[in-house]
Amino acid sequence: MLLAAPAPESPVADAAQRGDLETVRTLLQQGADVNAAQGDGMTALHWAAKNGDVAMLRVLLYAGANREAATRLGGYTPLHLASQEGASDAVRMLLEAGSNATAVTSTGASAIHFAAAAGQPDAIKALLERGANVNARDAYAGRTPLMFAAAGGRLEAMKTLLNAGADPSAATHVVDYAERSRADDVERRRRARLIAAANEPGERERSGASGAAGEPPLQRAQAPDPDSATAPREQRRPGRPQAEPDSPTAPDSTRPGGGYGPRPLAYEDWVGRQGGLTALHYAARDGRMEAVRLLQDAGADIDQVTLGDHTSPLLIAVINGNYDLALQLLERGADPTLASEDGAAPLFATVNCEWALRTWYPQPTAWQQQRTTYLELMEALLKAGADPNARVKTHIWYAAYNAGRMGVDYSGATAFWRAAYATDLAAMRLLAKYGADPNIPTIKPPEGRFPGAANRARDSTEAAEKDLSGLPPVPVGGPAVHPLHAASGVGYGTSRVGQQHRHVPGGWLPAVRYLVEELGVEVNVRDHEGYTAVHHAAARGDNEMITYLVSRDADVTLVSRRGQTTVDMANGPQQRVQPFPATIALLEDLGAKNNHKCQSCE
């Protein structure tokens, strides 16, 4: 039975929290402990500092309050809290009383970081006079006070720091998430071995852990197999390490019985190396337009890319929906062709941000609060030299806000492809005006990237020997999904993308008509899995589009590599995708075969 420990008695701290100076004086005169802390380690001096109560501070310091007392969580001293609140007079009083200006919290942040974030130049000056380092780095990410001030748009604090010698080119630490994941896997494997060993019968007998009447102990009953898909992450055994992407003979675990070929990237490989941000990146990320101007005027490099994935200030502004700031950076000479390590450039990022996927939890909405529209920004980027046919190199790891339920891979996509996927006719027209090629597809990725992809890979492998599509094999890196497929509903019948896909309302048919009639796209073009635009339209039950495509000589009898006809795509091709009876009837009337393989009917 657990018993709650009695709360520590801290009457002086309690009175200081309320700002009750008279009670504090009375308690101290009666001999109360000035340093008695509350349960979280907050003392009376902490509260006086946090409240900026100079009179209270004077009384407490005179009574012998500990200037370096630290909270139980975070290790905050009174000086940290005064700085955090921007209480300049309290900061000066504590410093004059001998408080350590360079003391750090458990995350390595010092008082000058907090004063910078609070935007208090007087507090910053007082700390610098007492030996604080203007370029001090916190332990969490190597952030400097200038970065704290820039992220919050604290202009006066930034000016004070820059005048004192703050380095605008300083960058945060870089984290290699693939390497960190490998280290985590080693530790996870070690924990799994310890759990398994502790649950061995001999170990249970030695420890007396067996239950009544020979029943296994509760711990054993609750400890899942480390290889189980339902085991907690820390108890799962990690899979085999990923091979290098350019290794053509790496074992492919997505194939039945092993096999060889390029392996899919794990999520941590997509993320790769992150970090190396400067103060300019922080200001651009948070849309701080005046802070960006100030940093540029102070000599910050407008095109300095992050040390992690080579993201420019312009790109990070666009990714976060800060269109107004992105336009400002362009006007000041930012290079619109700089792409991150995954090949994402500002033009692609603009379309991707505007049509970011629907998620099940709140997401940034800065893009909805801009004076500059995404089309205006796109045209400004194109006029400044952005390549309308630039392709991303890999799937964009943040495309689904880490939810990982996309089912559509962006590898090799252009901005035009992304606009087609959003059925955004206006963006498609704009990009075509500046030379976008409507026939550039994505590239085929290794199998197994998305939930359910391993099963699809197995199905594809089994079907390879009896491929009825009549198409030659497409190697990894070959052409995959064309803009026409994107505009007609790729993924709706194979990955349930309708849960997250956002696009122009009513934009399906106008986008497809534009591709076919004005840009001359071949109506029967096949994707890497053998699907056509009719297959994708059928998976959505879009009779209007099917009728239009047929009027343009679309062949409704074509079969995918998996042996799926266009009728099969309308007939519940996967779980939780319901059949469309009217579409089934239409396609049957047009001559398509019904294999009666409804998956959602089972």
pLDDT of residue 256: 33
Return the pLDDT at 264. 67
> Token pair of 499, please?
């849960």
Q: Does residue 1 lie within any of the structural domains?
A: no
In a domain, 299, yes or no: no
Look at residues 141, 170, 201 and tell me which one is the last residue of a structural domain: 141
Tokens of 543: 């009779």
Residue pLDDT, tens place only, 488-540: 999 999 987 887 899 999 999 999 999 999 999 999 999 999 999 999 999 99
Of 124, 141, 158, which closes a domain? Answer: 141
Q: Provide the pLDDT for residue 342.
A: 94
pLDDT the model gives residue 242:
33
121 in helix, strand or coil? helix
Write down the pLDDT at residue 402: 62
What pTM did the predictor assign? 0.85
When pLDDT is cut at 50, 70 and 90, the band that residue 225 belongs to is very low
Tens-place pLDDT, residues 365-375: 898 999 999 99
Assign 3-class secondary structure to 535-571. Answer: HHHHHCCCHHHHHHHHHCCCCCCCCCCCCCCHHHHHC
Contact between residue 483 and residue 440 where contact means Cβ atoms under 8 Å apart: yes
Q: What is the mean pLDDT of residues 134-144?
A: 97
Q: Is 355 within the bounds of a domain?
A: yes
More confident residue, 599 or 6: 599
Give the pLDDT confidence score for residue 574 in this predicted structure. 87
Residue 318 has pLDDT above 80, yes or no: yes
The domain that contains 505 carries what CATH number?
Answer: 1.25.40.20
Rounded average pLDDT over 560-574: 95
The 10s digit of each residue's pLDDT in 18-32 is 999 999 999 999 999
Q: Which two tokens stand for residue 534?
A: 């009719």
Confidence (pLDDT) at 432 = 99
Average pLDDT estimate for 273-294 = 97
> Residue 291: pLDDT above 80?
yes
State the Cα angle at 286 between 296 and 314, rounded to 5°: 55
Residue 384 in contact with residue 336, Cβ under 8 Å? yes
Tell me the C-alpha distance between 70 and 82, whole Å.
Answer: 13
Tokens 């540029």 — which residue? 296
Query: Residue 426: its pLDDT value, please?
Result: 99
Q: Is it the case that residue 451 has pLDDT exceeding 50? A: no
Q: Grade residue 209 by pLDDT with cuts at 50, 70 and 90.
A: very low
The arithmetic mean of pLDDT across residues 309-328, rounded, is 98
**Mean pLDDT, range 141-154, rounded to an integer:** 98
Show Cβ contacts of residue 547 under 8 Å, excluding neighbours closer than 6 positions: 586
The better pLDDT of the pair 178, 37 is held by: 37
SS3 (DSSP) at 444: coil
Q: Which domain holds residue 439?
A: 309-589
Residue 200 placed within a domain: no
Instruction: Provide the pLDDT confidence category of residue 227 given band limits of 50, 70 and 90.
Output: very low
SS3 breakdown of the chain: % helix, strand, coil, rounded to 5? 45, 0, 55
Q: Is 341 contained in some domain?
A: yes
Tell me what the mean pLDDT of segment 336-349 comes to. Answer: 97
Mean pLDDT of 456-481: 77
pLDDT (mean) for 301-315: 97
Calculate mean pLDDT across residues 335-342: 97
Q: State the Cα–Cα distance between residues 566 and 538, nearest whole angstrom.
A: 6
- What pLDDT score was predicted for residue 601? 86
Position 8 scores a pLDDT of 62
List helix spans (H) across 111-198.
111-118, 121-129, 145-151, 155-163, 177-198
Q: Which tens digit of pLDDT belongs to each residue from 244-282?
A: 333 333 333 333 333 344 566 777 887 889 999 999 999
Contact by Cβ (8 Å): 359, 401:
yes
pLDDT exceeds cutoff 80 at 231: no
Looking at residue 516, its pLDDT comes to 99
Asked, for residue 234, whether it belongs to a domain, the answer is no
User: What pLDDT, on the 0 to 100 scale, is given for residue 593?
Assistant: 96
pLDDT of amino acid 211: 45
- Residue 210, pLDDT > 70, answer no
Domain count, the chain: 2
Q: Per-residue pLDDT for 300 more than 60?
A: yes
pLDDT of residue 500: 86
**What are the backbone angles phi and psi of residue 479, rounded to the nearest 5°?**
-65, 140
* DSSP H or E segment with residue 274: strand 273-275
Q: Are 256 and 456 in contact (CB under 8 A)?
A: no
Q: What is the pLDDT of residue 246?
A: 37
Share of the chain above pLDDT 90, in %: 74
Q: Is residue 225 part of a domain?
A: no
Which pLDDT score is estimated for 289? 98
**Within a domain: residue 33?**
yes
- The pLDDT of residue 468 is 87
* pLDDT, tens digit (0-9, with 9 covering 90-100), for 49-96: 999 999 999 999 999 999 999 999 999 999 999 999 999 999 999 999
Domain boundary among 91, 107, 141: 141
**Cα angle at 94 between 91 and 99, to 5 degrees?**
115
What is the residue-averaged pLDDT of the chain?
Answer: 88
Average pLDDT of span 298-325: 97
